[in-house]
Amino acid sequence: MSISLPTPVVSIGLLLCSNIFMTVAWYGHLKYPTSTLQKAVLISWCIAFFEYCLQVPANRYGYGYFTAAELKTIQEILSLSIFMVFSVLYLGEPLKWNYILGFAMIAGAGFVIFHKW
């Protein structure tokens, strides 16, 4: 028995997972400021490999159902959503009102991009 998921579910799911890896790769090392830069780069690069293994198929699979601009918009909104959670839970940074407002403005841009004018 084969289960076929709709293209948006697969593409957005892969983008979600890839952005989790991306956030950890780009910002996870900030919690370890005494680690050498070379070590941070190497570990981040290794984590980013898995991000690319998910990001490329997400875009390849989703392109055609979504435009390239729509795929990028989805990626950016997911990236910021994941980063907000990551920065609060992992890095222990406060979530300020201006961050939330800025994110809302970017989400508004998503509305403009996806709206059929």
pLDDT confidence of 2, banded at 50, 70, 90?
Answer: low
Whether the per-residue pLDDT at 116 is higher than 90: the answer is no
Looking at residue 112, its pLDDT comes to: 92
Cα 51 from Cα 53, distance rounded (Å): 5
What pLDDT digit, counting tens, does each position of 58-88 carry? 999 999 999 999 999 999 999 999 999 999 9
| % of the chain at pLDDT higher than 70 | 98
What pLDDT digit, counting tens, does each position of 11-36 carry? 999 999 999 999 999 999 999 999 99
Cα 32 from Cα 88, distance rounded (Å): 16
**Interior angle at CA 76, CA 91 and CA 13, nearest 5:** 90
| This model's pTM is above 0.95 | no
